[in-house]
Amino acid sequence: MNEVVNCAAYLDGRRVASIEVDNIKNVLHHPDKFVWVGLHEPGEETLQRFQQEFSLHDLAIEDAHNAHQRPKIETYGDTLFVVLRTAQINKQHDRIDFGETHFFVGHNFLVTIRHGSSISYADVRSRCESTPHLLRKGQGFALYAVMDSIVDQYFPVVESMEEELQEIEEKVFKIKPTRETTEHIYQLKRQLLEVKRAVSPLIDICNRLMRFDIKLISTETQPYFRDIYDHVIRINEMVDHTRELLNTALEANFSLISISHGEVSKKFAGWAAIIAVPTMVAGFYGMNFEFMPELRWHYGYPVVVIFTVSLCALIYFLFRRSGWL
């Protein structure tokens, strides 16, 4: 089964050996050992096989197979089912890729199931194995280690969004605001909303894992989830702060675009007023009335031209001084 990334047994915080799926039940009979299984996008047949080995609930297996679940924590008998969404920056396509990780936690086992874009937890497993005095706490500490790694992945994502926000602010206030900037703001707001939906439920999940009514998590392990809780609160605050600044940037962009349109309208109005003077004069002399004394005056034409040009120049000066031109 190539969906099985790792399947190992641990005793007193140390890795005993890699085991086959068929031998899992033999290990589970030893109360001092626990099994840590890692799966990557397993098929239905693989999930059913592990369901039989660990006696997992049908509804939880259905959720783990279908994926696309919201972050949640549920209890099925003696098993805890946890769903978390993962996030990482895709620099090649300039976007955020989301994935899912599902956890099955029992008295002496932990099963992690990765779906979609999700980084391997091999490094997490190695760090845990290098600290047997912590891994001795059991499957609860292994759950904490993986969850902590998932939550920490959100920090570079949110920090990247904050840097993108700074670029937007420069475009809005230092460069001419455009509709492309508005579209950029909306795209970033949608990404922030996705991050918010993924992170917000973690507050409730951590609260439940810190409570003493969940006996699958030992009392000495529960304080570790308070660290994850603090990180989640920080990420939520960073997301909310960025969203507020984005809303402000969006309003400022709209206002500056309106002001820019108003400036253009004022320029049009100013030039229209200037052009109206020679148009009016030409209109008078184009009526072809018979009795117009200026028509037979020797200096009539230059006087009218000078008067028209002078009046246009005066209007231009007044509009220029008022800032319309």
Kindly report the three-state secondary structure assignment for every residue of 61-97: HHHHHHCCCCCEEEEECCEEEEEEEEEEEECCCCEEE
Q: Is the pLDDT of residue 325 over 70?
A: no
> Is 107 inside any structural domain?
yes
Phi/psi at 230 (5° precision)? -60, -40
Calpha distance 211→112 (Å, rounded) = 22
> Is 205 inside any structural domain?
no
For the segment 135-144, the average pLDDT, to the nearest whole number, is 90
Residue (of 139, 108, 128) closest to 33 by Cα position = 108
- Work out the percent of the chain whose per-residue pLDDT is above 70: 90
> Is 199 inside any structural domain?
no
> Is 300 inside any structural domain?
yes
pTM: 0.77
> For position 276, which CATH number holds?
1.20.58.340
Residue (of 184, 178, 148) closest to 164 by Cα position = 184
Give the end of a domain, one of 107, 130, 153.
Answer: 130
**Domain range for 276:** 259-322
Lowest-confidence range among 118-132, 143-157, 170-184, 202-216? 170-184
The mean predicted confidence, pLDDT, of the chain is: 84
Give the end of a domain, one of 81, 99, 130.
Answer: 130
Residue-wise pLDDT for 222-253, tens only, equals: 889 999 999 999 999 999 999 888 888 888 87
Calpha distance 161→139 (Å, rounded) = 34
Instruction: Report how many domains make up the chain.
Output: 2
Asked if residue 238 lies in contact with residue 154, where contact means CB atoms within 8 angstroms, the answer is no
Q: Is the pLDDT of residue 35 over 70?
A: yes
Give the end of a domain, one of 130, 154, 169.
Answer: 130
Residue-wise pLDDT for 279-308, tens only, equals: 777 776 666 666 666 666 666 677 777 877
